[in-house]
Amino acid sequence: MAASRELKDELFDALADVARALGSGPRLALLDLLAQGERSVEDLATAAGLSVANASRHLQVLRRAGLVSTRREGSRVHYRPAGDDVLALWLSLRAVAAERVGDVERAAREYLGDEVEAIGRAELVSRLGSGDVVVVDVRPRFEFSAGHIQGARSVPLDELEARLAELPADTEVVAYCRGPYCVYAHEAVRRLRAAGRRARRLEDGWPEWRLAGLPHDAELADGPSAKERTA
């Protein structure tokens, strides 16, 4: 029995390695970025506000836990989630925390500002079928290139006002970005409504849409520009 107990403890300790890898705000932020598409260590570091050395250390922890995989291109190492199950785990963790931990909702409201009206995936799918809605992806352009909702237009947030004339004035606009805690879609809706447009945000984001098996497209991406790496 003692040997059996030791083996059981070893098993659960191995399972705990994954939990320990996820037990870090910066590592979760890196996973959230990787949910949008593959990125290099340098790009991840810039987007997450980390030094390259610090980002690399966090990514190595995630890799040892089997949560991310790599691809080398010349001197650059590119990271991506090890599978859709990893993305599902991250989204489930986030949902449980939002439901069970009051500080998550408080922090989200302080970060995102006042709530804006949202539309669910099922309603948006129906509306897309009828063609009476325009969907705009307000993430950086290279994230759109990695994958996006079928039929969506790439209108990064910092281009929205300049390109407002491209959007039909008599059609509702639905903006989406990285997920429910991504500020881009909230801000896009505020700007669109200030300009007199009917607008809502998708209640979640691109990773949830893709994992649900809903219609989507991907283009070939050349990687983020220097400006986009700061997004």
Residues with catalytic function: 177
Strand partners, 216: 149
Which residues 6+ apart lie within 8 Å of 30 measured at CB?
44, 48, 55, 58, 59, 62, 79
Cα–Cα distance, 79 to 192 (Å, whole number): 35
Nearest-CA neighbor of 168 among 155, 186, 150, 179?
155
Cα–Cα distance, 137 to 185 (Å, whole number): 8
Dihedral over alpha carbons 185, 39, 215, 189 (to 10 degrees): 10
Strand partners, 76: 73
Cα–Cα distance, 109 to 103 (Å, whole number): 10
Axis-axis angle for helices 84-100, 2-22 (nearest 10): 80
